[in-house]
Amino acid sequence: MAKLLEVTGLRTEFKTAAGVIRAVDGVDLAVDKGETLGIVGESGCGKSITSLSIMQLLPKGLGKVAAGEIRLEGENMLAFSERKMRQIRGNRIAMIFQEPMTSLNPVFRVGKQIAEAVRYHQGVGKKEAMLRAVEMLTKVGIPRPEKVAVSYPHELSGGMRQRVMIAMAMICNPKLLIADEPTTALDVTIQAQILDLMRELQRTEGTSILMITHDLGVVAEMCDRVVIMYAGQVVEETDVKTLFKNPKHPYTKSLLASLPQLNSEQERLASIPGQVPNPLEMPEGCRFAPRCQFAQDICRANAPELEEVEAGHKCRCLLQQEGYHEHTA
């Protein structure tokens, strides 16, 4: 498959009163055309900052991409002007945010907000844009779309607002859809409907999806490949079936072990000891070593690289990499 998006060596930094924080540190990932790639990790691992770096929506004066390349169909977006990025956002790349109430403007009717993207990017008139907005609301399964189009965001339920966000993101038929925790605030039934909707739109429109989540159930249902992030770095990357059948990194194994099992006799769910390291005081060696039950002295002294340990399966763990036993012999 041809690569739609390629991120290489991405390093994103933030200025704080305590010093410079490296929120994303050398991330590599790629999304093929028509593929769904999942980015998984605990809160604070850098997955949302990665998406904001791709969209170039980092807070001005505080955050910046310090190194790396972000290529969309071969073009390095970091070299684009702000004007060129405005032409790309909502057109070639669109984003669905976690909480639609913070993304929708409370003083404008939702139909006008959806139509605005078509008017800006495709230059159609006000009437034609509104017709397309209503048509898109129908596509995302909203009943009585004409009435919803003239409603304000606060008049809609959480599930309806999320559908409006998807309609807004998809109306210009983007090549890449970035979904940042799109179902977190929704109940299980509505969550399933939203995922079905995204899958159907992907099937009909051929859109690639970058799915950012901490929910491994969503990953199992939606994704073709998965990237696991920890403390600003990618620690494992493989296809979704391999991830669940044969995880390599101790962090991934711990995440999977913490999932509830229907046939398990465990009284308590497994948990990962310790906490995510302070980004200003990253441990030497492997960043997961302080929490890893398998960690050895070599892990605490040497920082592992992300290497291919099996065909199509990458892992950032010395215990999994060839030559580890030579170091410890």
Predicted TM-score of the model (pTM): 0.90
For residue 37, tell me if it sits in a domain: yes
Q: Give the pLDDT band (50/70/90) at residue 133.
A: very high
Reply yes or no on whether the pLDDT at 327 is more than 60. no
What is the structure's pLDDT at 326? 42
Reply yes or no on whether the pLDDT at 190 is more than 60. yes
What is the structure's pLDDT at 328? 43
What is the structure's pLDDT at 75? 93
For residue 292, tell me if it sits in a domain: no
User: For the chain, how many structural domains are there in total?
Assistant: 1
For residue 242, tell me if it sits in a domain: no
Q: Is the model more confident about 296 or about 264? A: 296
For residue 63, tell me if it sits in a domain: yes
What is the structure's pLDDT at 264? 59
For residue 171, tell me if it sits in a domain: yes
What is the structure's pLDDT at 324? 58
What is the structure's pLDDT at 208? 95
Mean pLDDT for all residues in the chain: 89
Reply yes or no on whether the pLDDT at 168 is more than 60. yes
For residue 262, tell me if it sits in a domain: no
Percent pLDDT > 90 in the chain is 64
For residue 312, tell me if it sits in a domain: no
Residue 130 lies in domain: 3-223
For residue 123, tell me if it sits in a domain: yes
The two structure tokens encoding residue 177: 């859809």
How far is it, in rounded angstroms, from Cα 232 to Cα 214? 15
The two structure tokens encoding residue 275: 């906490």
Q: Give the pLDDT band (50/70/90) at residue 263.
A: low
**pLDDT, mean of residues 229-239:** 96
For residue 123, the domain's CATH number is: 3.40.50.300
Q: Give the pLDDT band (50/70/90) at residue 266.
A: low
Question: Do residues 303 and 233 make contact, with C-beta atoms less than 8 angstroms apart?
Answer: no
**pLDDT, mean of residues 258-268:** 69
List helix spans (H) across the chain.
Answer: 47-55, 82-88, 100-103, 110-122, 126-139, 145-149, 158-170, 188-205, 216-222, 240-245, 250-257, 297-301, 324-328
Q: Is the model more confident about 164 or about 260? A: 164
